[in-house]
A and B are shown apart, each in its own frame.
Chain A
Amino acid sequence: MSNIKYILGLFEDPDDMMHGIDQLQKNNISIYDVFTPMPIHGIEDKLGVKRSRLPIVAFCCGITGTITALSLMYFTMAVDWPMNIGGKPNFALPDFIPITFELTVLFCAFGMVGAFFFKNHFFPGRAPRVMELRASADRFVIAIEANKGFDADKIDSLLKEAGAIEIKHNDRKYVSYE
């Protein structure tokens, strides 16, 4: 039994899985992570996952886009090569609003998605670190790390009671590295 690294509880029903999390937490068993094929609302609070700060990134990137657009147009139209267009002001702000808006959106979207990929270590070709292959299709998986002095039988029975349809004892962390 000593070579077990992770215990996985596979659930068919997200509500049973939530129940399983409650049961484990009641018994002070810490959960390594949960892998699901769809977002589960309310799970972050249960597991104490902090609010994402990505919206802040999005806002900062958006503002950067606004400033970039306005300064680019100010520089080109009013400083570097001012042109007399029908005697109208060189820095014709209303005309510059559409591009300012577009660049705000562009910077915001790319900045936020870039930050999302960076924080999750997402990039094309990254080897997927998957602990259970069916977790992306139809299984809701609770993963428990096998620390020192853990009680495998107790965890198994807790998961079973909560409605797990399968329990796996894995001797390696990721199954996707074949």
Chain B
Amino acid sequence: MASHHESILREPLITGKNITYSRITEEVLMPVENKPNRAWWIGFIVAAAGAGLWLFAVSYTFWYGIGSWGLNKTVGWAWDITGFVWWVGIGHAGTLISAVLLLFRQNWRNSINRSAEAMTIFAVICAATYVVSHMGRPWLAYWPLPLPNQFGSLWVNFNSPLVWDVFAISTYFSVSLVFWYVGLLPDIATIRDRATGLRRKIYSIMSFGWNGSVKTWQRFEIVSLVLAGVSTPLVLSVHTIVSMDFATSVIPGWHTTIFPPYFVAGAIFSGFAMVQTLLLVTRKVLGLENYITMFHIESMNKIIVLTGSIVGVAYLTELFIAWYSGAEYEQYAFLNRVSGPYAWAYWIMMTCNVITPQLFWFKKVRTNIPLSWILSIVVNIGMWFERFVIIVTSLHRDYLPSSWAMFYPTWVDISIFIGSIGVFFTLFLLFIRVLPSVAMAEVRLLVKSSSEQAKKKLMAEGKVKAHEAEYYVESLEKYDSVEQAEYEKI
């Protein structure tokens, strides 16, 4: 039932007075139905300039070949794979929010899942561009597919983790896209039914003829649930397989069984940080403070401190196992990471991923918006360095000291990386202009049970025990969108 009562002790997921179904529609569709403001244009121009840089640098790579990057015969993998793993990892939070939190019935996902899933899709697009550009000859991109070819009936090697990765990433991208789009249908129908003229025609095509009948909703709900069920193991498998690209090799520092869980935790860690980076700005610029509340921000910060600590334990375990294994090469690989020529990168990684996120143990920090935003960026920097450290420090000093080398990025490497961030933000900014950035249908479900006004009404009617009400009012203190003064009257 829409109006089932929720314990007063639970913090509200929607704040504000007079939240009605029509007000949710109005507020969420405000950026879609109106002309963009100046903040959007500034952001878009900067992002589009980045995307232009990306286009130029990638074209340059295709024209002159991979030689335009800073790779050498010792370090044959560097910023490209770093960027690829970084972006795929960032994508993981969206699926985690939309699938895992759905299975656990965490209703706070309802207001952030849409933008987080969009972020997933754009991040995986950025990752895929790295795969294509580092092929060198992108017109042969079909080679890892199991097609019978003109060279005889030789097939791809299904024992290779790189082939697994092709299947994992393409499945992940397409299933995420489908999950996201199915969830969008009812909201696109809302825009369609409010629009006129050409806009109505366009959204009508995109809405697939959604009409919101009983049977449609019933099927919609079961489809969402099953998709969440299959996406949950899928998201865990994707980064597991990405980690196997490294773990199945015999390079010291890569050949470890801890990689799959360690990579998955790191992926969730960096993904939530990116969601935080995006949403803290989005909620302010689009005025969504009542839907993306302090509770959401704090919950995400809790996940960041948890996964950051898991990552920290993994780093320490790696060091311990390297020492404990007694394997000379393994020991040297880690000694070199900690104190070699790339020690600065290692310690940036350690600081950004393990030490600073521990600040989130303090409630004051967790509920401080500017600080959360800065720390989320710090986490993303740290996670980029994590991948760089794993990849480059293991490669640059191989078994043969005469071939030891350093990696120096060229302007092309740097431009592709900065450009991919531009591509990501361009896509995200376009998304918030043309599609609802909050899943309206799902937020409507919360109005009668989990909203501040519903709880306030219960308190005013005296249906709540006094000490529970007191606890609840105390928990509201952290919200920036709640007026405390109003509770003194009750």
Contacts and interface: CB of A to CB of B under 8 A. Distances in A.
Nearest to B442: A38
B22 A52 contact: no
Interface residues of A, number: 68
Nearest to B203: A128
Given A14-B3, A112-B223, A77 B171 contact: no
Interface residues of B, number: 70
A121 interface: yes
Contacts, number: 204
Contacts of B218: 39, 44, 49, 52
Interface in A72-127: 72-73, 76-77, 80-81, 83, 85, 92, 95-96, 98-99, 101-103, 105-106, 108-110, 112-113, 116-117, 119-127
B167 A103 contact: yes
A134 interface: yes
Contact of B211 (A12, A103, A130, A138): A130
Contacts of A55: 222, 226
Given A124-B206, A128-B192, A130-B211, A113 B178 contact: yes
A103 B244 CA distance: 18
A138 B25 contact: yes
B190 A101 contact: no
Contact of A95 (B158, B189, B194, B240): B158
Contacts of A135: 193, 211-212
A47 interface: yes
A108 B222 contact: no
B158 A76 contact: yes
B227 interface: yes
Given A98-B241, A112-B227, A130-B193, A38 B155 contact: no
Contacts of A127: 204, 209
B400 interface: no
A67 interface: no
Given A37-B441, A41-B1, A102-B171, A62 B159 contact: no
A41 B222 CA distance: 12
B146 to A, nearest CB: 6
A99 B3 CA distance: 44
A99 B163 contact: yes
Contacts of B21: 12, 37, 137-138
A15 B156 CA distance: 58
Contacts of A92: 159
A106 B217 contact: no
A36 B155 contact: no
Contacts of A54: 219, 222-223, 226
B227 A81 contact: no
B212 A35 contact: yes
Interface string B219-263: 111110011001101100100110010000000000000000000
Contact of A44 (B22, B207, B214, B441): B214
Nearest to A128: B209
Nearest to B186: A136
A81 B152 CA distance: 10
A99 B158 contact: yes
A123 B208 contact: yes
A121 to B, nearest CB: 7
A4 interface: no
A18 interface: yes
A49 to B, nearest CB: 6
25 contacts: A14-B3, A14-B448, A18-B1, A39-B220, A40-B1, A40-B2, A41-B2, A52-B222, A54-B226, A55-B226, A58-B226, A72-B146, A76-B156, A81-B153, A98-B240, A99-B163, A102-B164, A109-B175, A109-B178, A110-B178, A116-B220, A120-B219, A130-B211, A135-B212, A136-B186
Interface of B: 1-3, 20-22, 25, 146, 152-159, 161, 163-164, 167-168, 171, 174-175, 178-179, 182, 185-186, 189-190, 192-194, 204-223, 226-227, 230-231, 233-234, 237, 240-241, 244, 440-442, 444-445, 448
